[in-house]
Amino acid sequence: MNLLDVSDISLAFPNKSLFQNLSFTIKEGEKMAILGVNGSGKSTLLSVLHGEYVPDTGIVRRRQHLSVGALSQRPSFTEESV
């Protein structure tokens, strides 16, 4: 069963195109790594996958009740968040 289907998504900011016509599927049990240089759109892609940003074009389909999360490179935990 597919956890995530990404179909032809594109996203650009005023002076930078981050990705164009990006498509992939993640199935249950699969792992995925997102690699790239600083400023290439990795964090923004994660924001699109969990719904914080809407792509300019294309569709992101998440399995119902799926939660997408990310941990920053330098996380800061508080007593309340753990």
In a domain, 28, yes or no: yes
Q: Residue 9 above 90 pLDDT? A: yes
Residue-wise pLDDT tens digits, 45-81: 999 998 889 999 999 998 888 877 677 677 777 766 5
In a domain, 44, yes or no: yes
Round to whole Å and give the CA distance between 42 and 16.
14
Domain of residue 26 covers 2-66
Number of continuous H segments (helices) and E segments (strands) in the chain: 1, 3
> How many domains, in total, are found in the chain?
1
In a domain, 82, yes or no: no
Greatest alpha-carbon span in the chain: 41
What is the model's pLDDT at position 33?
A: 87
Q: For residue 32, name the pLDDT band (cuts at 50, 70, 90).
A: confident
In a domain, 76, yes or no: no
In a domain, 16, yes or no: yes
In a domain, 15, yes or no: yes
